[in-house]
Structure 1
């Protein structure tokens, strides 16, 4: 009969083996999940390529208005008309597009569609002069030929650069600032608008705001959402508006959903607005119909 020490040692060995088996099982599960995740990403990438080839992507348009209520432009927002899931917003595929590099051909398609649409609006007496904003990814901006791509697109469609605005996030601007500034200056020289999206949520500092030739700052919706009844949020929007004025750039408040938010921002000196209060993103026909209705 084994002594107590031998019994203890045996139990210890059983425990070690049990732990090793548990770790091994966990590793197998993790590897399986990683393989499944990689397979899902490959499948999604293949779907994205197919969607672009079969023109299943579409631009939706959210109106941007001045204080007078006149629509002066829109933000172009990408949608994927998926055969099984219906309309899918960027949150459902943009990360995969970034990871695989597919964002480059996709972004080029968006830019081409935007310029072509601006050309069509120029030929319409009611819609002539509308501006269009498009979002630019980090990977797009990094490309050495990004500026020529934009300028060629404008030239091929016969579009005035002043009608196009490129929206950049603060995180995009943190990499290779010298090269970024040079690209922005070249675009600005062609009249292209440059908007700092989600202003106030990231790394904003006066040092780089003074260096970079922005024409517009977009106050993040998080600040707009809390402006009513929150003195701190109200103070932030007031200061952001003042900063934009001091820098000599336009400031647009995005995410405006209520009359109270609109009136408070108006009282603070905001003159440009975007949000559900004025219209959700819609397909082209609906957007044009609404703009024509306002102009009538």
Structure 2
């Protein structure tokens, strides 16, 4: 067969042979069976005594395997092995070319920085093989959501990026972000499990938000974190204010990482009162951060950051240990205190070894298990029912009490509640706030109590602030309450004083 290079007529090959008497290069040829292969061909001119060309001598080497290795190396260097998408290196290269084009043509480029919400919890609880399959399916849905001219890549972990360099309007980027969020809404079936995942998307624009690769990607990354702070599962455009917010967040995160070592955390305790005897029968442990510069930092500000960064695992274990030590010290036959409740983050629960952590705390503190009560939010149960049931079963076998916090704010199914080894439901403060005047809240609170009673769970109401609320709850049948009517959260020393006074006083306990 005649190599294609010889069939192309006038060519650099002929010029090289004419001027240098030699040519070498890579050509595609065909084997006898029709299969294509790559060869490295060297052609040399043969002349007679009169310097006339009489022949051409060609020597070739089959470099098909070399080419395959080169292509494979290119793939490894430039593409993510899991999803096959361009990796960070190739994305940077493509974006650099796109910026040069956009600069010449005075066009805009949009960067969509996509970070999956709660992916770490899925990865930690169900394992990396499941996490990898989920990432692959997510990459497929993102690819299906974008235009043919757009580029999608994976930066690493659960971070993806979309580059749009053919924009007609800035709103095109927002429309694409909506398409991606919509595509991720449906459940993912991975190894017979239905998994749900959402994403936070930050959008930056060239040239407004950055003139080079690093700055424009960083701007989109900052915008993405703003979405995380606003509740996730959404998108937003970058603004300069976001940079200031992210800088504050970065500083707070660094200080949060050192706060535990510097003993800046303190556990406060809010009394839980029996509505039958008026005595303090329990307490909820609530962590506070005593920052040397900012004062007491609100848990609403640092707990979400601790969960997002994983620092909550160390903080949560420390709080549980402190509560166990206090329970061992305070729960005595001569007072009415029976237990201390501790909030447990969904991130802690999604650890495959959380039950081992609880066991370790009990052994370390020598605390009687029934003196501790762990509270988990209803939303965590909804999102990871099977894992929560398995973890709760192990914890319950240790003798620790279990409760659902903020009950009524989610949509737990009755069948799932029956499967959980619970001791208590806590009526969310949002249903207590307007009692007894709001008839809807009154009906909801009564329904929660009736359901809990039928399942054999005790009930506690949180956020009780008035005598009228207390009276309504007592008439309803609720036997425990917690709120500012009795006491705000106080330090360990102040709580010990409350227990002493409560032991000496007769009748109902209210804050003075």
User: TM-score, with normalisation over the residues of structure 2?
Assistant: 0.52
| Aligned partner of residue 27 in structure 1, secondary structure | coil
Q: Which residue of 1 aligns with 2:209?
A: 27
Which of 97, 100, 114 in structure 1 is aligned with 2:306? 97
Residue 437 (structure 2) pairs with residue 255 (structure 1): no
Which of 461, 467, 486 in structure 2 is aligned with 1:278? 486
| Aligned partner of residue 144 in structure 1, secondary structure | coil
User: Is contact 2:408–2:427 with CA below 8 Å preserved after alignment?
Assistant: yes
Residue 204 (structure 2) pairs with residue 204 (structure 1): no
Distance in 1, Cα, partners of 2:246 & 2:498: 43
Residue 353 (structure 2) pairs with residue 145 (structure 1): yes
User: Is contact 1:81–1:87 with CA below 8 Å preserved after alignment?
Assistant: yes
User: Is contact 1:78–1:89 with CA below 8 Å preserved after alignment?
Assistant: no
Report runs of 4+ in structure 1 exceeding 6 Å deviation.
Answer: none
Distance in 2, Cα, partners of 1:149 & 1:175: 22
Quote how far apart the aligned CAs of 1:76 are. 0.4
Q: Which range moved further: 103-112 or 56-65?
A: 103-112
Distance in 2, Cα, partners of 1:174 & 1:239: 19
Distance in 1, Cα, partners of 2:438 & 2:239: 47
| Aligned partner of residue 73 in structure 1, secondary structure | strand
- Write the mapping of 1:185-200 to structure 2, written as runs, cut at 5 A: 185-200=393-408
Name the larger-Rg structure: 2
Count matched residues.
278
Q: Which residue of 1 aligns with 2:429?
A: 221
Q: Using CA pairs under 8 Å that are at least 6 residues apart, name the structure with larger relative contact order, 1 or 2.
A: 1
User: TM-score, with normalisation over the residues of structure 1?
Assistant: 0.87
Give the number of the structure whose residues are more often helix, by fraction. 1
- Kindly report the root-mean-square deviation, in angstroms, between the aligned alpha carbons of the 2 structures: 2.3
Q: Which residue of 1 aligns with 2:252?
A: 44
Quote how far apart the aligned CAs of 1:174 are. 2.6
Quote how far apart the aligned CAs of 1:35 are. 4.4
Distance in 1, Cα, partners of 2:457 & 2:333: 28
Q: Deviations over 1:186-228 (max 9, x none)?
A: 1111211111011001122212111111111000111111222
Which of 254, 257, 263 in structure 2 is aligned with 1:55? 263
Distance in 2, Cα, partners of 1:55 & 1:125: 32
5+ long unaligned stretches in structure 1: 1-15
Give the number of the structure whose residues are more often strand, by fraction. 2
